[in-house]
Amino acid sequence: MTEVPDWLETLAAQAQRIRVPRILRPPAGRGRSAAVLMLFGDGPHGPDVLLIQRSTRGRRHAGQPAFPGGGVDPEDAGPVEAALREAEEETGADPRGVHVLCTMPELYLTHSDNRVTPVIAWWREPSAVHAASPDEVDSVERVPIAELVDPANRVTLRHPRGTAGPAFRVRGMLVWGFTAMLLDTVLREGGLEQPWDPEQVEDLPPEAVALAARG
């Protein structure tokens, strides 16, 4: 069992006060409730976070790296329970070893009409993980924080629609979109971010564009 690191305690204390950009503020009376689990742990290469590579066969966000998560089902007690359930279904992570610290403000994803609650947790007793739901998940990675904050792995990614946002190249994955935005926020608010060049802009690769267009 490992102690929650100071930076994560600091982040949890201010999580509900993190400013939500206007474009991500949930509209009244719209959107399906969903949740993602931002599970941090003490891995073999230092502090890390659990990410999945979604299956290219999936209906939504096909082929994209993401946090484990999904819709809040009627039988779930709320977003925290939904995030833990989805993480277990997708990666095999045992929820008994997960210490939930807090939730972040709800975020609205226009493309999928989801109101997403990010759940921040510490992996006090890590369990083995794998692609437990092959139809939804191609692979599972514990990505070291050191790789995420390395300026050499950071870039601003431009979508054909004209929008742009942070992205990370780690473990053979291009992490972009909603997941990259959340990681960028957490690294900054947790005081872990290293100076990087946001003016280094690249276009979203055609294969990622094609998968995103599928929904």
Task: Return the DSSP state at 24.
Answer: G
For residue 215, is pLDDT > 60? no
For residue 169, is pLDDT > 80? yes
Q: What is the SS3 assignment for 94-133?
A: CHHHEEEEEECCCEEECCCCEEEEEEEEEECCCCCCCCCC
Cα–Cα distance, 114 to 99 (Å, whole number): 25
For residue 80, is pLDDT > 70? yes
DSSP for 146-183 reads HHHH-GGGEEEEE-TTS-EEEEEEETTEEE-HHHHHHH
Place of tokens 């969903």: 34
Cα–Cα distance, 38 to 69 (Å, whole number): 9
pLDDT digits (tens, 9 = 90+) for 1-37: 678 999 999 999 999 999 888 888 899 888 999 999 9
Angle at CA of residue 181, ends 138 and 77, nearest 5°:
70
Domains along the chain with CATH numbers: 6-144 (3.90.79.10)
CA nearest neighbour of 2 among 40, 45, 52, 33: 40
For residue 171, is pLDDT > 80? yes
pLDDT reported for residue 46: 94
User: pTM (2 decimals)?
Assistant: 0.94
Cα–Cα distance, 214 to 62 (Å, whole number): 7
Higher pLDDT, 22 or 90: 90
Confidence of residue 56 (pLDDT cuts 50, 70, 90): confident
Contact 93, 39 (CB under 8 A): yes
pLDDT digits (tens, 9 = 90+) for 140-161: 999 999 999 999 999 999 988 8
Q: Give me the mean pLDDT over the 171-190 stretch.
A: 94
